[in-house]
Structure 1
Amino acid sequence: MKKTSITLAALAASGAAMAQSSLTLFGVADAAVSYYSAKGVYYATPVGSRAPLATPFEVERSLTALSSGGNASSRMGFRGSEDLGGGLAASFWLESGFNQDTGANGIATFVRRSTVSLSGGFGELRLGRDYVPTYWNESVFDPMGAVGVGENLIKTVSGNIATVRGPGSLIAPTDNAIRASNSIGYFLPRNLGGFFGQVMYALPENVDSSNVPGSSTKKGRYYGGRFGYASGPFDAAIAYGESTAADTTTLTAAGVVTGARFSDKLRTINLGASYDFGILKLMGELSQVRDSTSTVTPVRGVAGPAIKENDKYNGAMLGMTIPVGVGMIKASVARVKFDNDLGVVLPGTPDRDASARKLALGYVHNLSKRTALYASVAHVRVKDGQNNPAIMGVYAGGLANVAGGTATSGIAPRSARGYDLGIRHSF
């Protein structure tokens, strides 16, 4: 990506004071003609039952659209730094996403990244809105770049969990799965012989009223870290993150804490690796997300035993990129398995789990270092989607999954497919 650098000294009258500062304007413009299709099956039996359907029929939704970000997310940003001397530097990064097909969002809201940092021999201290550590493995080790119809299935499901469970915000429903606001991050120095790492803590920023029982909540808090090693053709990293999706206490009308206390924490651990053989580059990821809930209901003013549930989402992805002349072939296969933990499971209880598989294939033809044509296609298959349609009902691209109804009737997501045919220009 070519970047345009502007010396701030040329833009300000006090040139001598700003001679060692710089500003970089950068971005991506990406648009594609895309097709999305999602299929579901009507069911009228209890969740998890594999009994024959009384009135089975298939439902399909499809959409052809001019989309944005099929190969790289459309964005515009500014970043700059100032040399403070003695090896210290102050930097900022403001990046905004936009829809190439409509121009919506603009550059006024820097929701992709908004950070200010201080760096030196000690590493980097970074403050603001930034990517969470666990997201990097879902993106870096995905041959499709975690965008478009072929994006990493693990990333899609992780985003669905955050959206459904929380603490999705007005900024983005996938907050704390992809990015976190109000974060404090530290990055290790870059001269550690290939070793790298980061840690992050995101403040929940909830008001705590000391005279109002039960007002304290940690909803929105995130902490995590990522550590790895990269040298030559080899790159590997492990990451962990924990997000508080819910933390509530039910009060009586008089404001007395006698109601139930409910908490929900999402714990993600993933491991990614890649090796470049020259003729092809192999990459893969293993991931697990635990959705852990706990409910404590007082009995006669005394806290009763906690009722806990610990659902698991186990994912795996294997992919590759193959250089072909001025182009690149990309391919990946992925699977995510949902294990439903209902606590006590009685004999004969039907299977309440679900799973999804995804196959993605793409080709990028570079017209220059900054401009490329691309094509991507993907197919998703969902098994027992009625057991968890909101999260496991994954789809390809910009079409919502085909799911709905109640626990005993509705549309069970079954499959999805899509393609992107587009052009990407970087600046």
Structure 2
Amino acid sequence: MKRQLLALAALTVATGAMAQSSSVTLFGVADVSVAHLSTSGKSVTGLANGGNSSSRLGFRGVEDLGAGLKAGFWLEGGVTVDDGAASGFKFDRRSTLSLMGNFGELRVGRDKTPAYQNLETFHAFADAGMGAINGHSLISGSAAGTPEGSNPKRVSNSVSYLLPKLGGVYGQVTHSFGEQAGNNSLSSHTGLRLGYAAGPLNVAGAYGLVRGGTATTDVDYKTFNLGASYKLGSFTPMVLVASDRGADKRIDLYSFGLKMALGQGELRAAYSMYEDKKQDDADSQRLALGYGYALSKRTELYATIAHIKNDGKAARKLGSSLSPTPNVGKKLTGYEIGLRHNF
């Protein structure tokens, strides 16, 4: 009888622990390609990282707190497959703690900015590899006093609120603290995103503001973008318009893309135009074409070819991690064949 009572008590404790419904998941992406790029007087061949998706390693978990509340964490860092670099590994891609419920989600830590999420959502190659949108910041270089750049992919020291499911409406507002002595707003970032996704349609707009400059002089860097996609059977056309402005610079982007189910994979194509509104003869045009063949639900074999044409005063490069910066006014062509595995 005592043994039966002890067994029943142990089962009760175990059932109570399971009722809390907590989980921790190890996940990641391993992506590497053989790439070749050439421009006037320069060429390079080798292994490139993240030709389809950025390689990463992470941990995430959720705990059911009851009463409709959940707590979650997400720790994710970038890795390089070609050399296995792990020295100084840190969770620089995402490091967040969240509280979720019917009210939405409150998220704190390091995370993607709302404007960047629009760029990668409405571009056929997102922001990885040879055909990538080629940088989250259209204004090249980092802004003085803004270590993360004039239009950052991710920001640290941030607080975000994400809307709950409201039909097809979704949205996010984020503020990151600059934490600079003497000027509380210096290096801070504020961003928001609002969209609607229902059936085949997905459309969203985003805005971001970075406070740059010095301790005594403020320089605002602003980004705007609007994207849309619409699924028509096996075709998904998409369009993206973006603009980065600040420090007497303005670069506009117009991108048209297509994803199409083809055989046991997906065909991807994108055409993009970069227009420098403050400098003549400094525009660029890029065309990219790629195909991903699904070996399984988690593994893809892919190939991409891309070409960028720079005007006389432009020197933009392709998105590959191997891409050299061409001489001013010169073209750049590249191709890659790679393998991506999600786990």
Tell me the TM-score normalized by structure 1: 0.73
2:59 match: 78
Pair 1:325-2:263 in alignment = yes
Contact kept, 8 Å, 1:224 with 1:242, in 2: the verdict is yes
Superposed displacement of residue 339, structure 1 = 1.4
Within 1, Cα distance between the matches of 2:122 and 2:79? 24
1:246 match: 213
Within 2, Cα distance between the matches of 1:28 and 1:15? 34
Superposed displacement of residue 107, structure 1 = 8.4
Contact kept, 8 Å, 1:36 with 1:396, in 2: the verdict is no
Q: How does 1:373-392 map to 2 (within 5 A)?
A: 373-385=301-313
Structure 1 or 2, whichever has the larger Rg, is 1
Contact kept, 8 Å, 2:124 with 2:258, in 1: the verdict is yes
1:263 match: 218
1:3 match: none
RMSD: 2.1
1:183 match: 158
Pair 1:393-2:316 in alignment = yes
Change (3 A) 1:107 1:193: farther
Contact kept, 8 Å, 1:217 with 1:248, in 2: the verdict is no
Change (3 A) 1:188 1:107: farther
2:190 match: 223
Superposed displacement of residue 113, structure 1 = 0.4
Pair 1:152-2:80 in alignment = no
Letter in 1 for 2:173: V
Contact kept, 8 Å, 1:379 with 1:418, in 2: the verdict is yes
SS at match of 1:414: coil
Contact kept, 8 Å, 1:143 with 1:320, in 2: the verdict is yes
Contact kept, 8 Å, 1:160 with 1:174, in 2: the verdict is no
SS at match of 1:138: helix
Change (3 A) 1:333 1:99: same
2:3 match: none
Letter in 2 for 1:374: Y
Superposed displacement of residue 402, structure 1 = 3.0
SS at match of 2:330: strand
1:163 match: 141
How many percent identity over aligned positions?
39
More displaced 10-residue stretch of structure 1: 139-148 or 158-167: 158-167
Q: String of CA shifts for 1:302-350, please: whole Å, max 9, x gaps.
A: xxxxxxxx3211110000011112111100000010111xxxxxxxxxx
Within 2, Cα distance between the matches of 1:176 and 1:183? 15
SS at match of 1:189: coil
Pair 1:94-2:79 in alignment = no
Contact kept, 8 Å, 1:162 with 1:168, in 2: the verdict is no
SS at match of 1:134: helix
SS at match of 1:193: coil
Q: Which of 275, 279, 282 in structure 2 is aligned with 1:354?
A: 282
Change (3 A) 1:91 1:134: same
Change (3 A) 1:336 1:383: same
Q: String of CA shifts for 1:260-307, please: whole Å, max 9, x gaps.
A: xx332210010000000012110110011111x3xxxxxxxxxxxxxx
Within 2, Cα distance between the matches of 1:95 and 1:362? 27
Letter in 1 for 2:333: R
SS at match of 1:34: strand
Q: Which of 314, 325, 328 in structure 1 is aligned with 2:252?
A: 314
SS at match of 1:135: helix
1:138 match: 119
1:363 match: 291
Contact kept, 8 Å, 2:143 with 2:212, in 1: the verdict is yes
Within 2, Cα distance between the matches of 1:289 and 1:160? 6
Pair 1:122-2:103 in alignment = yes
Superposed displacement of residue 425, structure 1 = 0.8
Change (3 A) 1:372 1:223: same
Give runs of ≥4 in structure 1 deviating > 6 Å: none
Within 1, Cα distance between the matches of 2:115 and 2:192? 7
Q: String of CA shifts for 1:120-153, please: whole Å, max 9, x gaps.
A: 0110000000000000111011111221010014
Aligned length: 329
1:199 match: 173
Change (3 A) 1:20 1:230: same
